[in-house]
């Protein structure tokens, strides 16, 4: 179908009822692109373990950050190699 689903790059958790050790309510999480997950109503979130897992999208609010803040946050996830 060629459907293009654009996931937010960051989202704020509003529900951690099933995974309190993995998610913190009100915390900003990095979202990894995953069109198949989005079609199923999920987001691929890098959680407290540092690994990415699928969680229901309804547990998060997309964070629409100013460009310079999003750029700085994304850069902070890159390995620093001078």
pLDDT in tens, 24-70: 999 999 999 999 999 999 999 999 999 999 999 999 999 988 889 98
Backbone angles phi, psi at 43, to 5 degrees: -125, 145
Asked if residue 82 belongs to a domain, the reply is no
Q: Domain count for the chain, please give it.
A: 1
Q: What range defines the domain where residue 56 resides? A: 11-76
Kindly state whether residue 1 falls inside one of the protein's structural domains: no
User: What pLDDT is recorded for position 6?
Assistant: 53
Sheet hosting strand 52-56, strand order edge to edge: 52-56, 42-46, 28-32, 10-13, 60-62
Is 49 a member of any domain?
yes
Predicted TM-score (pTM) of the model is 0.81
The verdict on residue 40 lying in a domain is yes
Identify the weakest region by mean pLDDT among 10-24, 41-55, 66-80.
Answer: 66-80
Residue 2: inside a domain: no
60 vs 53: CA distance, rounded Å: 14
For residue 81, is it within any domain?
A: no
Q: Is residue 4 part of a domain?
A: no
pLDDT of 78 reads 78
């Amino acid at each position: 179908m060629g459907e293009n689903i654009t996931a937010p790059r960051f989202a704020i958790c509003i529900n951690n009822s099933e995974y309190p050790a993995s998610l913190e309510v009100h915390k900003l999480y990095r979202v990894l692109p995953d069109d198949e997950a989005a079609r199923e109503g999920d987001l691929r979130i890098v959680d407290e373990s540092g690994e990415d897992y699928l969680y229901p999208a309804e547990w998060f609010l997309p964070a629409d950050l100013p460009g310079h803040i999003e750029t700085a946050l994304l850069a902070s996830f890159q390995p620093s190699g001078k």
